[in-house]
Structure 1
Amino acid sequence: MLSVDEALGEVLTQAQPLPAERRLALEALGLTLAEDIHADIDLPPFDKALVDGYAIKVAEFESGVREYFVGEEILAGKTPERPLANGEAAAIMTGAPIPVGADGVVMIERTSLVDGRVHLEEMAVRPGMNIMRQGREMKTGDLILSRGDWINPARIGLLASVGRTEVEVIPPPLIRILPTGDELVEPGQKPGPGQIRNSNALMLAALVSNAGARAEILPVARDESQHLSDAISHGLGADVLLITGGVSAGNRDLVPETLESLGVRRTFHKVKLKPGKPLWFGVGLPRGDRPPTLVFGLPGNPVSGIVGFLLFVRPALAAMAGLSRRDPTARRRPLSRSFKHQSDRPTYHPSRLIPSPDGGYTIDPLSWAGSADLRAVGSCDGFAVFPAGDREYAQGDVVDFFDLD
């Protein structure tokens, strides 16, 4: 049986970035660049004013000149018509080009205009004041974004500033979710004797969406070989297939043998953790220019499904999307109270975060009935991670905390 780290290593070995696609820049939001982006012009393309005010020769001000004749008015988008003359100031707007000869801009709030002449207050003036020099932001040919960078709103603006309306990106993977089990009914139905509502599919679809991928929920597959085989065959057309239920050791747990009959190569079955021990992972057949389908058989108990998704599926989706950060991360936090842990496996225990007086947070382990207790997870902020073994933890003891979101 593999450890969590060993199993994650196997998953990430198989998780390959998807082929790049060319998209409009706005449609690339939240995706990963598949190319380097260079500046096509200097930015700014000229020396420009950073404030509304008056462009002057700093040396004149330093020699004692405080009153200037107002020459031309330079608006943003206009080009100065002539160099700045001696004893002259040019009225200038934010973003407008600096006239030749000027080397400072005094903001309008420090001036007064009387009979066509501008008076400047006493102040510290220096060359370059309130001016952004040509190329200060970037120069032609500069690398401004790199392959592997994540596209956020600021970077959409940056792409626009260098004329890139389309970019090569890694598209979001498509994940098909296949719930299995004769006992399942849809959430809108009232369960009959021996039945339960299919909560896993919607829960996993929400987790997939939160991870930036596309989710497609398939109809419930019944515990019958041919029906299950047909459903899995359809699911294998996606980049990732998540199957819930049918991966334990019961007589009706048909998923592993059905997957292998369809050419899916098993990588591992069972991980040393609680909840989620029966997790199954394998790799499908080649799909032309796309990586083989990754297949996760998640236990049917919902908390096991969440933990399996956070520990293994989400990092795989990040790798497929070309993101550099792929491993799940935990923060070390103190416990808010004493806690007794008994298990031969590392345990991911639903817990709340409680604000502490020092501005941080402490961990409050919730009362939890095990891997079927979805209500406890609905009240939690994440999972406290308790290593294998029996131990009495004291208030203030520090353990790993794995955020749900």
Structure 2
Amino acid sequence: MALLPVAEALKRILDVATTLEPEDVELLKARGRTLAAPVVSRHDNPPFNASAMDGYAVRAEDVATVPALLTVIGEAGAGRPFSGTLGKGEAIRIFTGGCLPEGADAIVIQENVDASGPTITVRETAAIGANIRPQGEDFRKKDILLEPGRCLTARDVLIGASSGHAKLAVVRKPVVAILSTGDELVPPGNPLGPGQISGSNAYGLAAIVEAAGGEARFLGIAHDTIASLEECINASDGADILVTSGGASVGDHDLVRPALEKAGAKLEFYKIAMRPGKPLFFGLRAASGKTQYCVGLPGNPVSSLICARVFLVPLIGRLLGREAPFQAVDAVLAEPLPANGPRQHYMRGLLDMDASPPRVTPFKNQDSGLIKSLQRADCLVVVPENAPAQAAGTPVKVLKLDI
């Protein structure tokens, strides 16, 4: 059976995935969510002509010649507008954010004024519009301020609130059920018995899921039996994605694929021309009345997380309608690379984005058993299958690990 190229495998996954439905969330919970609908302003900002300084609202013609004596007839504070109309020779005490009174067309800052009771002496002229923020200067009612597909930042939340929205429409988070498999696994923190290892993959995968915008749900550790796997798989009903770790190869105890098929999954492909991570599969399963995407990752921790970055993260991005941040970036090799074999290689390395162009240094030792090497890396250098030796300075594609 020929190994499926990475690009073809990823295409098959993304071709069957569609953006999830929207939901409304309160502003306090909107940061980091993916916008599902345009944010349209519900009013002008500022909603009125506002003072940009503490001072006095005046008519510019009254202070065209200084010193000018004016009579203060009232006050306009933030949220407390002056209700009358400013006349010739008059001024209104005004504070930053206050609504410009009718009849006024300039603000004299308080540092340029001497006050004595109800009379002020203005020592500096002020042109029409001085120290005034005009209504709608920032944005207008019905302006489109944010487009769908955007991962909302604190600044986006701010403008959403400023434009009159208490809630924003965002794409529902994909629920990703994560299942570890293997009799050799014990929960982290537990003492290791003979032949046992800490079950670390689920925790790294959960962190990747959350960073990509999904909601991780840990199903636990399944034993190497069809019955145990089937029970855990059925517990994933309701999740948008089921991710399994381990049991994806062809050994006597690699039972995840037959267990999934028994639970109703239809496998779309198996085995990828990828290094590390050849034993990876993808399928679809009807669960709780909707399609569940099933991604089977290798049990090796390094292979598992690299495969998750290559396949699971783009799948989450497609379900969110947000893909660009998860795609490869361009860089050049800081050091030469030897020729590659028949599988596309994802090499751990360090990316220098401050260089022009960005430069990437692949690690010398790419052994998939080196977890510390993955922890030190911040990117994956994509080396195509059967690529010849490449000199320093050769352009390459790079996947950032921190998303």
Instruction: Settle same-fold status: TM greater than 0.5.
Output: yes
- After superposition, give the CA deviation of every residue in 1:198-246 in whole Å (9 maximum; x if it has no partner): 1111111111121222212222112212222222221243111110111
Partner of 2:295: 296
Match of 2:369 among 365, 368, 372: 372
Give 1:292 shift.
1.1
1:120 has 2:118 as partner: no
Gaps of 5+ in 1: none
Partner amino acid, structure 1, of 2:208? L
Aligned residue in 1 for 2:91: 89
- Partners of 2:207 and 2:218 in 1: CA distance: 11
Matches within 5 A, 1:6-405: 6-62=8-64, 64-71=65-72, 72-113=74-115, 116-121=119-124, 125-285=126-286, 287-288=288-289, 291-321=290-320, 323-325=321-323, 328-354=326-352, 361-405=358-402
Partners of 1:235 and 1:46 in 2: CA distance: 53
Give structure 2 stretches of 5+ with no counterpart: none
CA contact (8 A) 1:336 1:364 kept: yes
Amino acid at match of 1:78: R
Quote the Cα distance in structure 2 between the aligned partners of 1:354 and 1:54: 53
Q: Which amino acid aligns with 2:68?
A: E
Deviation, structure 1 residue 341: 3.8
Counterpart-to-counterpart distance in 2, 1:278 and 1:256: 11
Which whole-Å CA distance do the structure 2 matches of 1:324 and 1:53 have between them? 47
- Residue deviations 1:307-339, cap 9 Å, x none? 211111112112223x33257322222333333
Matched residue of 1:69: which SS? strand
Amino acid in structure 2 at the alignment position of 1:404 = L
Say which SS state the counterpart of residue 326 (structure 2) adopts.
coil
Deviates more, 1:149-158 or 1:301-310: 149-158
Q: The residue matched to 1:347 in structure 2 has which SS?
A: strand
* Cα pair distance change 1:129/1:373, threshold 3 Å: same
Q: Per the alignment, do residues 218 and 9 of structure 1 end up closer, same or farther by CA in structure 2, a change over 3 Å counting?
A: same
* SS of alignment partner, residue 296 of structure 2: strand
For 1:169 and 1:355, locate their aligned partners in 2 and report how far apart those are by CA, in whole Å. 31
**Aligned positions, number:** 398
Letter in 1 for 2:79: G
Deviations 1:29-63 (A, max 9, x none): 3223344444333332221111112222223444x
Greater CA drift, 112-121 or 375-384: 112-121
1:101-127 CA-partner distances (Å, limit 9, x unpaired)? 2212233334444673232336xx543
> 1:333 is matched by which residue type in structure 2?
A
AA of the residue aligned to 2:341? S
**Given the superposition, is the C-alpha separation of residues 273 and 363 from structure 1 closer, same or farther in structure 2, using an over 3 Å criterion?**
same
Q: Is the 8 A contact 2:340 2:384 kept in 1?
A: no
| 1:313 maps to amino acid | L
- Give the TM-score normalised by the residue count of structure 2: 0.89
Quick check: 21-30 or 245-254, which moved more? 21-30
CA contact (8 A) 1:352 1:363 kept: yes
- 1:269-298: CA deviations, max 9, x gaps? 12222112221111111533xx41111000
Note the C-alpha offset of 1:394: 2.8
For the aligned residues, what is the CA RMSD?
2.6
Identity among equivalent pairs (%): 33
Match of 2:85, SS? coil
Q: 1-side partners of 2:380 and 2:75: how far apart?
A: 63
The one-character-per-residue Cα deviations of 1:119-169 (angstroms, maximum 9, x if unpaired) are 2336xx543222122233344444444544443323333333344323443
Task: Give me the whole-angstrom Cα distance separating, in 1, the residues matched to 2:400 and 2:165.
Answer: 36
Aligned equivalents of 1:325, 1:166: Cα separation in 2? 24
**Paired amino acid for 2:385:** A
Write the letter of the residue equivalent to 2:128.
Answer: P
Note closer, same or farther for the CA distance 1:4–1:120 as it changes in structure 2 (3 Å cut): farther
Local SS of the residue matching 1:368: coil
